[in-house]
Amino acid sequence: MMSSLSKTLLIMLLLSTVAGVYADNDLFESAQITPPELPGADKQREGVILHLADIESGECLRDLHVELRLREEELGIELNTIRYFEDCNISVDLEEGRWHLTLKADNLSTEGKDYFEETTLSLLNASKPPTLVAYMKPVGTVIGEVIDEEGRIVVNAKVKFDCSSGYGILSEQQTDSFGLFKGEWLPQGLCKISALYNHQVGSVDVFVERGGLDEVSIELEKTTTSSLTDYSPLLWFILLAALFVIAGYLLRKKKNNKRPSNEPIEPTEGMLSIMKTLEDRQKKIVQTLLEEGGLLQQVDICYKTGTPKASVSRYVAQLESRKIVESTRIGRLKEVKLTSWFLNQ
């Protein structure tokens, strides 16, 4: 057993050690000892800021559930996710590369889908994360059925969407086992929906509104080709003669048409001299119309120039006052085209 003297000596040794620690406290402070960083902390970086804006008003969009599809072709990377935009912006972590983004936005307070956009992002040697503004275009949803002349549902009928605007998802579909189809991301505006099955066709027109949900029914009817075998030889001759006359008229019309639609228009010196007198935003609208064959819907001008709807409306009105463009309203959409006066300069 440890003697009393030994215990006393041990206690005195411990006390002297503690006193030495407190005496050297200034030494630890001067060493500025810091805890080690977490592994990989120096590799952390901020993500790309994605900002959603309404293409017509330019206002930021909130309270949206957005399906994000991000694809990088060279790296062979494809990412699919769903993000909630409580405010206008979210951060997305991406590697360097050229990314193609597809955004499908849904506000749960509306019956149909609400916005759609496809855009690209180049993320190469960026010193700091960029901000990408995605101008979202309005879409709606149409669900429908295909029936025959006796009201029976038609399964595996081919369904085609022809709309006044070309964005959104317009791929062909087939009716399911209940004879139903759904176009979830159709562009706002007039759409013609056609169905085909076993040499029978039918169609219906519907005006799609943002966030709307329309229900349609397409009844199939006999095609004209199925009854041509019943025509008499004289009627055949009349039909062929009429076709030749129509074909000749169309050929002459095409020949006389100086500028085919949708083909870029090469500006003349007269046009260029007029464009020099315009403001930059006005000039950009005229240049976009020239590149698109002289005719565009106003919502497409907003998209192609990245200009809010209110500003485009003001610039178009100014160009109309100078007889450079003219606009025509078709339902809720406005069509803008270059005037004959400007094109003949």
Whether 244 has a pLDDT exceeding 50, the answer reads yes
Tens of pLDDT, residue by residue over 4-40, are: 555 565 566 555 554 554 444 443 344 444 444 333 3
Q: How far is Cα 50 from Cα 85, in angstroms, rounded to an integer?
A: 10
Cβ atoms of 207 and 330 within 8 Å: the answer is no
The architecture of the domain spanning 45-138 is Sandwich (2.60)
Residue 12: both structure tokens together? 């005195």
pLDDT in tens, 249-272: 777 655 544 444 568 888 888 888
CA–CA separation, 42 vs 24, rounded Å? 33
pLDDT tens digit string along 89-148?
Answer: 888 888 888 889 999 999 999 999 999 999 888 877 666 778 888 899 999 999 999 999
Please give the C-alpha separations between residue 13 and each of 9, 17, 34, 238, in angstroms, as whole numbers. 6, 6, 31, 125
pTM above 0.75, yes or no: no
pLDDT at residue number 4:
58
Sign of the C-alpha dihedral computed for residues 145, 149, 155 and 158 taken in this order:
negative
Q: Each residue of 195-228: pLDDT tens digit?
A: 999 999 999 999 999 999 999 999 998 775 544 4
For 118, counting Cβ atoms within 10 Å of its Cβ (0-12 exposed, 13-18 middle, 19+ buried), the class is: middle
Per-residue confidence (pLDDT) for residue 9, from 0 to 100: 55
On the 0-12 / 13-18 / 19+ scale of CB atoms within 10 A, 159 is: buried
Q: Which CATH number does the domain 269-343 belong to among 1.10.10.10, 3.40.190.10, 3.40.50.720, 3.40.50.20?
A: 1.10.10.10
How do residues 226-236 score in pLDDT, each as one tens digit?
Answer: 444 555 677 77
Over residues 234-239, mean pLDDT = 78
Taking the C-alpha atoms of residue 260 and residue 294, their distance in angstroms, rounded to an integer, is 10
Query: Which residues make Cβ contacts (< 8 Å) with residue 4, sequence separation at least 6?
Result: none
Unique residue bearing structure tokens 């076993």: 198
* Domain 139-224 = CATH 3.30.450.40: no
At 32 the pLDDT is 43
Q: Summarize pLDDT for 286-342 with one digit per residue, the tens.
A: 998 988 888 989 888 888 888 888 888 888 888 988 899 998 888 778 899 999 898
The predicted pLDDT at position 33 comes to 41
